[in-house]
Amino acid sequence: MANEVIYSEENLEVVIGDITEEETEAIVNAANPTLLGGGGVDGAIHRKAGPELREECRTLGGCQTGDAKITRGYRLKAKYVIHTVGPVWREGSAREEELLASCYRKTLKLAKEYGIKSISFPAISTGAYGFPKDQAAEIAVREVKGFLKENDILVRLVCFDKETTQYYLAVLKKLRCYG
């Protein structure tokens, strides 16, 4: 089943579905620091891309929290995977908001460097890493919209479930009403 667009404006879409099915030029992997696969989005992307992704990731030497690295997409529809390591939620005491914002900035910077014109993000750090979905949505929308002011790229925020889409929609509604 195709991913469903829930919200759309000029170059930003909120989508519900499976990020591994995205046909954008790049998809973002909410990776762990080893970049070698894991659970959730990370595991799904590695399974769908095939063992070649893991082999390329082995050559990258891992990734720091808040940073991003790029690989080929292999068996995915996307040409590239940009791996970013989001912060584990520690009640806001370990610079989590700053680190999550950095994930979006570094990923979008890599996309720009590679001339990527369309990219799909999952809700970084909101699964096993426990980042509150409402705060994560606010950071994601703020960082993406800031980047889009000066860059021409299609950004799709891909949500695994309807609950997550509601957080993105609430942030976007607030921005339309007050900003």
Q: Which residues are catalytic?
A: 42
Question: What's the CA gap between 148 and 163, in Å, rounded?
Answer: 25
Q: What are the DSSP E strand ranges found in 17-66? A: 26-30
Closest CA to 133 of 145, 125, 121: 125
Cβ contact 29:44 at 8 Å: no
Residue 86 neighbours by CB under 8 Å, 6+ apart? 30, 65, 66, 99, 100, 103, 124, 125, 129, 131
Are β-strands 12-16 and 4-9 bridged in parallel, bridged antiparallel, or unpaired? antiparallel
